[in-house]
């Protein structure tokens, strides 16, 4: 069986007969078709398999391996992860997603630190209470037991030869189990959202992809990031490449997920730019909602253009709302920009 997603456990597949080498395998050696991490593989070398398309995977678990390779390539690109691969049927693809989720439920590990029999004696999401269906009769399990029992139950059901005898086609009579599995798994996130918000937010928050880039200068403690524009900016800041997402694209993409958070761990100077843009987008939306439902697109553009030209506070100004997290740009900011 293919290795468990994102797991560093040694693979126990015995179908490959060559003896394990004594030295860790490098990514170049692994190109010889062995897509696995040998015992002793360094963390930075783990999963450095070359990307292969679905057609190139010659395995009974091709679809599963393909989904794993997509997740390793970019686990945050949800559009790419859920897009149905050409020539595949939707039910099989959904099966693989449910299966991956039950095997790699990281929020569960994080909840174990504070979700205990004492803190959460019942499985609740706000005022809703759920009974555990993993027993002969519905039972009132504490939240962490409910989560473990539900994951075990979902894994057993998905691995059942009776309901899912093949990974290539799903019997129509088994499709009814998808909804009940997904509904119960979703409650784990609902419980985390209502009762362990900090863990949920740390787990779900999206950070800027530019945090890891070291080539950008900073002003105060914000990164000076290039944007896609046809206008000439300062010579020190070339426009971003038109084909790539800039920080504004990123803020628009992540707005819906990140605007709900009360806490956000700042992981780099680009995250401060992201937070600033998310606040600005919120401000734009509140301007538009004040303008009313009957505002035309043309009027909306006018309102936002004039809002963008309004006086606004900068980090360090007394009215800037997040001065605890941002440092003043200092007197030489003008010369840098």
Interface with Zn ion by CB under 5 A: which residues? 115, 120, 132, 134, 141, 143, 149, 195
Distance in angstroms (rounded) separating the CA atoms of residues 163 and 94 = 15
Q: What is the dihedral of CA 47, 53, 54, 55, to 10 degrees?
A: -130
Minimum distance between the CB of residue 115 and Zn ion, rounded to whole angstroms?
Answer: 3
Taking the complex as a whole, how short is the minimal distance between the CB of residue 106 and Zn ion, in angstroms? 16
| Residue 195 assigned to a binding site | no
> Six-digit token pair at 115?
């979700």
Calpha distance 232→130 (Å, rounded):
58
191 carries a ligand binding annotation? yes
Q: Residue 126 Cβ, how far from Zn ion at the closest point, in Å?
A: 12
Q: Residue 63 or residue 123: which is nearer to Zn ion going by CB?
A: 123
* CB 175, min distance to Zn ion, A: 25
For 123, list phi and psi in degrees, rounded to 5. Answer: -85, 105
CB 197 within 8 A of CB 110: no
Q: CA nearest 196: which of 278, 288, 115?
A: 115
CB of 151 to Zn ion, least distance (A): 11
Which CB sits closer to Zn ion, 134 or 223?
Answer: 134
Which of 186, 131, 187, 181 has the alpha carbon at shortest distance from 159?
Answer: 181
Residue 207 assigned to a binding site: no
Minimal CA–CA distance to 330: which of 220, 198, 224?
A: 220
Contact between residue 191 and residue 143 where contact means Cβ atoms under 8 Å apart:
yes
Q: Nearer Cβ to Zn ion, position 118 or 311?
A: 118
Q: Of 316, 198, 214, which is closest to residue 265 (Cα–Cα)?
A: 198
**Nearer to Zn ion (CB atom), residue 163 or residue 194:** 194
The response to whether 196 counts as a known ligand-binding position is yes
Cα 253 from Cα 332, distance rounded (Å)? 33
Structure tokens given for 231: 């206008």
**What is the distance between the alpha carbons of residues 160 and 118, in angstroms, rounded to a whole number?**
34
Cα dist from 229 to 143, 178, 304, whole Å: 50, 46, 18
In angstroms, what is the minimal distance from the CB of 319 to Zn ion? 40
Cβ distance to Zn ion smaller for residue 115 or 219: 115
Q: What are the CB-based long-range contacts (under 8 Å, 24+) for 311-319?
A: 315/220, 315/222, 316/220
Shorter beta-carbon distance to Zn ion: residue 70 or 141: 141
- Give me the least distance between CB of 176 and Zn ion, in Å please: 22
Q: Judged by CB, which is closer to Zn ion: 98, or 134?
A: 134
Instruction: Please give the span between the terminal C-alpha atoms of the chain, in angstroms, as a whole number.
Output: 55
Binding-site sequence positions for Zn(2+): 115, 120, 191, 196
Binding-site sequence positions: 115, 120, 191, 196
């Amino acid at each position: 069986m293919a290795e468990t997603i994102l797991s560093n456990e040694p693979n126990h597949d015995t179908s490959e007969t060559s003896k394990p080498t004594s030295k860790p395998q490098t990514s170049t050696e692994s190109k010889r078709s062995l897509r696995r991490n040998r015992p002793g593989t360094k963390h930075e070398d783990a999963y450095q398999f070359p990307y292969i398309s679905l057609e190139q995977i010659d395995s009974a678990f091709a679809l599963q391996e393909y989904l794993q390779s997509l997740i390793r390539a970019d686990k945050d690109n949800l559009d790419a992860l859920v897009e149905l691969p050409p020539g595949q049927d939707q039910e099989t693809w959904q099966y693989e997603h449910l299966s991956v989720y039950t095997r790699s439920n990281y929020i569960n590990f994080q909840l174990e630190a504070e979700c205990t029999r004492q803190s959460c004696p019942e499985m609740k999401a706000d005022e809703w209470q759920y009974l555990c269906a993993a027993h002969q009769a519905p039972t009132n399990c504490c939240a962490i037991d409910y989560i473990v029992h539900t994951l075990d139950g979902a894994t057993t059901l998905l691995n059942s030869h009776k309901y899912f005898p093949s990974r290539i086609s799903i019997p129509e009579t088994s499709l009814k189990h998808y909804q009940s599995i997904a509904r119960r798994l979703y409650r784990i996130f609902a419980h985390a959202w209502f009762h362990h918000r900090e863990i949920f937010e740390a787990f779900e928050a999206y950070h800027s992809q530019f945090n890891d880039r070291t080539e950008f200068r900073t002003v105060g403690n914000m990164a000076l990031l290039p944007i896609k524009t046809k206008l000439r900016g300062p010579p020190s800041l070339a426009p971003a490449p038109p084909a790539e997402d800039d920080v504004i694209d990123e803020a628009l993409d992540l707005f819906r997920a990140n605007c709900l958070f009360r806490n956000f761990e700042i992981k780099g100077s680009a995250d401060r730019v992201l937070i600033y843009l998310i606040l600005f987008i919120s401000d734009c939306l509140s301007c538009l909602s004040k303008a009313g439902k009957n505002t035309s697109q043309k009027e909306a553009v006018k309102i936002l253009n004039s809002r963008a030209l309004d006086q606004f506070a900068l980090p360090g100004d007394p009215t800037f709302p997040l001065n605890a997290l941002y440092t003043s740009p200092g007197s030489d900011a003008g010369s840098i920009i």
